[in-house]
Structure 1
Amino acid sequence: APECDGVLAASGSLKLRSPFQSDPTLRNDINAGKIAYTDVHLSQIEQQVRFGFFGAMDVAIIEVVGITEEGKLIPSMSVGPNNQWVKSAQKIILEVNTQQHAKLETMHDVFPDIGTPPNRRPLLLLNPDDRIGSHYIDCDLDKIVAVVFTDAPDRNSKFAEPDAISQRIAEQIIEFFEHEVKHGRLPENLLPLQSGVGNVANAVLAGLQHSRFENITGFTEVLQDGMLDLLLSGKMVSASATALSFSPDALQRFNDNIDFLRDKIILRPQEITNSPELIRRLGVIGMNAMIEADIYGNVNSTHIMGTRMMNGIGGSGDFARNAYYSFFVSPSVAKDGAISCIVPMVSHHDHTEHDVMFIVTEQGMADLRGKSPRQRARLIIDHCAHPDYREMLRDYYERA
């Protein structure tokens, strides 16, 4: 956010940033080589800090809704890695943000300590809406060196209204769900849904609002407008996430209906929401956006033209590799058709062909399950590439 990453970057105070970022000032400095950036799967950052891979943590700034009489921390709309930060940091600054709704209290489920190998503890979560921890974060009060009060809103960016392209992508995924239910590979209420950040992924969830599916569950990393509206309509019965990220209008809907939502939304540490073992065991359906895919099914979700970092891999790798179904979605072209999002070979690898089951654009869907590289290439070119680029891609494929 500008008041954190942006200020620190502009003042020249950062040498290293990890694991995910979205501030334009910080991004420009990363791409200019002024700030080192370490991209890490979100499921791994907490354990890597716990193992000492990043060295000692001096100070952690933790946003909270409040502090209980017993000295426990009431997390805000984002739990993220904060449970680990309060354990690892030598000093803690608490930011009590009165802008956050007081009734967020009890919406959280903080598993206290997973531990380290060989004594790591199993996560005994059997259903997406199970609770296995505490409503609060335990904190060594002797570490707290300051408590700062603020009344600042989150950076609530408005989502673009679903356009014809994103609606077509959503329609294809919903049609596919119908097909899989019919053939007995999905239950009537599907499996827990994960949706990555961004307009297209959010539009897919919005499309489910008008589907026949009921009693849906969510097991995602960031809960956005589309999933919130599924909860409010009753289509979705529960959703687990590590953070809430709403547009201004959706934030108002959330606050207006927080009594209804308190037992339907569960906010957990990202080490839990992005746990590969839980994602695989629960059978999560992963749907994430991409910058480009190549004709073999490899996906680039982080680098523009292979060299300029956008945000980072986030949790998309956690879900892609372990999901029951792994979707990557994008319009078939960018820059008003000047750039194809289906390319001969991705300019940067984030997700290999082994982790990608479906590529979906407004042109169509490529079902890559059980397909050889040659079969994948023909499917992706014929079903996902824009017609303006198909012959060029076929020419590359034949030469390759």
Structure 2
Amino acid sequence: MSVERILDPRLRDRIVSAEQAAAFIQPGETVAMSGFTGSGYPKAVPLALAQRIEQVHEQGLPFQIKLLTGASTAPELDGALAKADGIAMRMPFQSDPDARKRINEGKLDYIDIHLSHVAQHVWFGFYGDIDTAVIEVSAIREDGALVPSTSVGNNKTWLDLAKKVIIEVNEWQPEGIEGMHDIYYGTALPPHRKPIPLIHANDRIGQTTLNVDPDKIVAVVRTNGPDRNSPFKPIDDESKLIAGHLIEFFKHEIGKGRLPPNLLPLQSGVGNIPNAVLAGLAESGLRGLTSFTEVIQDGMLDLLKSGVLEYASCTGFALSPEANETFKRDIAFYRERIIMRTQEISNHPELVRRLGCIGMNGMLEVDLYGNVNSTHVMGSRIMNGIGGSGDFTRNGFLSTFLSPSTAKNGAISSIVPMVSHVDHTEHDVAIIVTEQGLADLRGLPPRARARVVIDNCAHPDFRDQLNDYFDRACRDSYGKHTPHLLPEALSWHQRYIDTGSMKA
């Protein structure tokens, strides 16, 4: 490898191997690493650290770290460290199967918080000191400024607060990505905060590089490895139906004058259903769309290429391998249309409300009154985490949740009497969409919400069962405002645990 991307002469003598860099990380440290939904995470140092941890464990000695990131990462980071039993605590979002298994076995402590809260909570000192930051960049400029790679996440905060910094310079990342980022250094702690000067989703309010004190950099590691994002599955008929219901609703709202013809800035969660919505928008006839979101996935690149989407603001990517190659090949085109921000800006509640974002997120289940569970299977087993969905749900102009009406080949109903875990309360949820239809909950009292959810979103295999529960609840409940039969409210979940099906 060349050293052309490491242009600061002060750092040339700090270029070391991943193993040498990992040796700077000590047991018990709080380590903050870059990465957001499988993009821009360090590729080499975490693997070397995991190997070192395994060697220490073979000697009968303890070695774990507390791990903070932007969001989920990849097998080389979360997976390797989890397999090595090297993580004592993980925060704020994960999607790795090995880490998830350890969390649900009670062997790994996990703190699941809103992504907009992470940076400020760390600044407030809620999680103690940051001992080491491990950050991937695409280049180091002559003046020591860092050119971010395919995610920004919490990197600004990690670099500001860490006592030691390890930099991975990844030559796989396209050189043309420089200039795509917008790093805002105007935030302050209460009570000295000033308004963030962002009025439109494509406003630039910061600089294109990250600052770091060069004296804190203890190691620079050269890498050349791809981001690891899973290919998206082909869009199935169920996802197409969900997308169709939502797009029909958007057009209805435009006709009523409640949305402008080009909608409002879109936020899209990651997954096949949100990707199906993006594909549907390409065929909807809508034009001049914009996005203020966390993650850009395949469908959003397609919308930019076709001109349906004018621009997108994000903090990271979640691209299939094929889309990654398209992005790298056409980087000059996308650099003019994509702005990458810090996580504290991309998910900032005040900005989400100011811009009037339309949130489109997935869920595991929703109850009759609109409470949404997006994180815990049967109330106890974590899937991934709340991520940024809450930032956009409570503060957006519209909050929509999308899901098939059943799971596990029809054994589980996504519409239940009472959710087994609440991530988003009924007060924040506006629209529920399944392949069966769309429930508009705006302006409805609780009992009316229940009827709309059952009639429009429940699967026919569970509709009679839901109506029977609700009818009896309206008759026999302790109160009539939000009727519940407490002995039965969570019985659907227990029945699934006991028998493998929610069906009565």
Report the TM-score when normalising by structure 1.
0.99
Instruction: Report the equivalent of 1:383.
Output: 456
* CA deviation after TM superposition for structure 1 residue 25, in Å: 0.8
Task: Give the 3-state SS of the residue equivalent to 1:260 in structure 2.
Answer: helix
- The answer to whether 1:78 aligns with 2:151 is yes
CA distance in 2, matches of 1:308, 1:155: 25
Q: Which amino acid aligns with 2:234?
A: E
Q: Which amino acid aligns with 1:38?
A: I
Matches within 5 A, 1:325-364: 325-364=398-437
* CA deviation after TM superposition for structure 1 residue 113, in Å: 3.9
Instruction: Report the equivalent of 2:224.
Output: 151
* CA deviation after TM superposition for structure 1 residue 152, in Å: 1.2
* CA deviation after TM superposition for structure 1 residue 284, in Å: 0.4
Instruction: Report the equivalent of 1:225.
Output: 298
CA contact (8 A) 1:293 1:343 kept: yes
* Structure (1 or 2) with the larger CA radius of gyration: 2
CA distance in 2, matches of 1:118, 1:339: 48
CA contact (8 A) 1:298 1:352 kept: yes
- Give me the identity figure in percent: 59
CA distance in 2, matches of 1:254, 1:95: 21
- The answer to whether 1:216 aligns with 2:289 is yes
Aligned residues: 400
Deviation sequence 1:281-301 (CA, Å, 0-9, x none) = 101000000011111101010
* CA deviation after TM superposition for structure 1 residue 206, in Å: 0.9
- The answer to whether 1:89 aligns with 2:158 is no
CA distance in 2, matches of 1:97, 1:23: 22
CA RMSD of aligned residues (A): 0.8
Could you tell me which runs of 5 or more consecutive residues in structure 1 were left unpaired when the two chains were aligned. Answer: none
* CA deviation after TM superposition for structure 1 residue 155, in Å: 1.0
Q: Which amino acid aligns with 2:154?
A: P
CA distance in 1, matches of 2:172, 2:194: 36
Deviation sequence 1:73-105 (CA, Å, 0-9, x none) = 100100000010001110000011111111110
> Pick from 266, 271, 276: which aligns with 1:198?
271
Q: Which amino acid aligns with 1:194?
A: Q
* CA deviation after TM superposition for structure 1 residue 183, in Å: 1.1
CA distance in 2, matches of 1:97, 1:269: 19
Instruction: Report the equivalent of 1:320.
Output: 393
Instruction: Report the equivalent of 2:234.
Output: 161
CA distance in 2, matches of 1:188, 1:300: 32
- The answer to whether 1:52 aligns with 2:131 is no
Task: Give the 3-state SS of the residue equivalent to 2:118 in structure 1.
Answer: helix
Instruction: Report the equivalent of 1:66.
Output: 139
> Pick from 292, 311, 333: which aligns with 1:260?
333
Q: Which amino acid aligns with 1:107?
A: M
Instruction: Report the equivalent of 2:24.
Output: none
CA distance in 2, matches of 1:292, 1:155: 28
CA distance in 1, matches of 2:102, 2:417: 30
Deviation sequence 1:307-358 (CA, Å, 0-9, x none) = 1111100000000001111000000011111111111111111000011000
Deviation sequence 1:149-185 (CA, Å, 0-9, x none) = 1111111211111111111111111111111111111
CA contact (8 A) 1:64 1:96 kept: yes
CA contact (8 A) 1:112 1:137 kept: no
CA distance in 2, matches of 1:11, 1:236: 43
CA distance in 2, matches of 1:38, 1:5: 15
CA distance in 2, matches of 1:253, 1:66: 21
Task: Give the 3-state SS of the residue equivalent to 2:427 in structure 1.
Answer: helix
CA distance in 2, matches of 1:328, 1:147: 43
CA distance in 1, matches of 2:223, 2:310: 33
Q: Which amino acid aligns with 2:450?
A: A
Could you tell me which runs of 5 or more consecutive residues in structure 2 were left unpaired when the two chains were aligned. Answer: 1-73, 474-504
Instruction: Report the equivalent of 1:108.
Output: 181
* CA deviation after TM superposition for structure 1 residue 115, in Å: 1.0
Q: Which amino acid aligns with 2:362?
A: A
CA contact (8 A) 2:386 2:423 kept: yes
Instruction: Report the equivalent of 2:171.
Output: 98
CA distance in 2, matches of 1:164, 1:2: 31
CA distance in 1, matches of 2:301, 2:123: 33
Q: Which amino acid aligns with 1:57?
A: I
- The answer to whether 1:138 aligns with 2:206 is no
Instruction: Report the equivalent of 1:19.
Output: 92
* CA deviation after TM superposition for structure 1 residue 22, in Å: 1.0
Structure 1 runs of 4+ off > 2 angstroms?
none
> Pick from 302, 308, 312: which aligns with 1:239?
312
Report the TM-score when normalising by structure 2.
0.79
CA distance in 2, matches of 1:218, 1:128: 7
CA distance in 2, matches of 1:292, 1:281: 29
CA contact (8 A) 2:186 2:196 kept: no
- The answer to whether 1:121 aligns with 2:182 is no
